[in-house]
């Protein structure tokens, strides 16, 4: 496989990421992953690797283990709604969304927002202006907040985790990160010492500002999270009034 390493990314992405051409993919990888570019591209090309149902939102994610490299979680860009019937994983434009996400995630992580650690992105150009995209993070142990709430029946532990989720969201907002689709399935509970931490996933449509998120934008993000909670748990079997009060930061 012919790999041509190019200069580090510009346009606001940390110089820790470099662009590498590998087969049909343009890979944008953190420097310590650059030597694994060939293996990463080969994994994407395995029969069924990107077509089969995986983990995460829309079943679009899978873990990738390579020798002498961090375990990765790869999320394939995949449409929702009616558009998925026509263009399940094809996107239009000359500024691929995974690169925008990488710029936002790298800077948000630098500011201290608790995220799945961004490791890179990949773009496969199908034709001029048409592409498939993937986003790479360091794999983390744990489960989504929604899975955790359905798994752990200890009220004190659940309240503790909800408080950690609220803290993660407040850190996100304080650092200017607007998450357009915050829900119970992209808040991720992971072990942290003898306790738990919550990290934020899927910044596909996120924006990063130079000031804290407040006012109508804060209320809009909170309303999206509450809609997610009511949709997933309409009878309040796992999220009672006290739990929702912890999460509702409007």
pLDDT tens digits for 157-195? Answer: 999 999 999 999 999 999 999 999 999 999 999 999 989
- DSSP category for residue 82: G
- The residue assigned the tokens 């090309």 is 45
> Measured in Å, how far apart are the chain's first and last C-alpha atoms?
51
* Closest to 178 measured CA to CA, from 152, 210, 156, 150: 210
Q: Which one of 2.60.120.200, 3.40.50.150, 1.10.510.10, 3.90.79.10 gives the CATH number of domain 143-247?
A: 1.10.510.10
pLDDT tens digits for 195-245? Answer: 999 999 999 889 999 999 999 999 999 999 999 999 999 999 999 999 999
User: 94 pLDDT exceeds 50?
Assistant: yes
The domain locations on the chain are 3-138, 143-247
* Closest to 217 measured CA to CA, from 151, 166, 153, 172: 172
C-beta of residue 145 within 8 angstroms of C-beta of residue 233: no
Q: What is the pLDDT, as a whole number, of residue 231?
A: 96
Q: Distance (Å, rounded) from C-alpha 236 to C-alpha 149?
A: 11
pLDDT tens digits for 36-79? Answer: 999 999 988 875 555 444 444 444 678 899 998 999 999 988 75
User: 4 pLDDT exceeds 70?
Assistant: no
pLDDT band at 13 (very low <50, low <70, confident <90, very high): low
């Amino acid at each position: 496989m012919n790999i041509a390493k190019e200069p580090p990314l510009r346009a606001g992405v940390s110089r820790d990421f470099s662009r590498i051409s590998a087969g049909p993919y343009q890979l944008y990888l953190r420097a310590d992953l650059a030597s694994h570019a060939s293996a990463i591209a080969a994994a994407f090309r395995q029969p069924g690797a990107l077509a089969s149902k995986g983990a995460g939102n829309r079943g679009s994610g899978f873990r990738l283990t390579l020798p002498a490299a961090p375990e990765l979680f790869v999320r394939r860009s995949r449409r929702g709604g009616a558009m998925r019937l026509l263009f399940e994983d094809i996107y239009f434009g000359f500024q691929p969304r995974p690169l925008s996400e990488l710029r936002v995630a790298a800077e948000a992580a630098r500011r201290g927002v608790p995220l799945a650690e961004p490791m890179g992105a990949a773009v496969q150009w199908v034709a001029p202006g048409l592409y498939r995209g993937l986003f790479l993070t360091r794999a983390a142990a744990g489960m989504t907040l929604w899975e955790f709430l359905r798994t752990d029946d200890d009220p004190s532990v659940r309240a503790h985790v909800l408080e950690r989720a609220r803290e993660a969201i407040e850190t996100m907002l304080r650092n200017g990160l607007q998450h357009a689709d915050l829900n119970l399935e992209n808040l991720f509970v992971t072990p942290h010492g003898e306790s738990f931490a919550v990290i934020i996933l899927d910044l596909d449509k996120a924006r990063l500002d130079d000031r804290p998120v407040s006012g109508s934008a804060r209320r809009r993000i909170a309303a999206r999270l509450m809609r997610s909670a009511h949709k997933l748990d309409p009878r309040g079997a796992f999220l009672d009034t006290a739990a929702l009060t912890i999460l509702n930061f409007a």
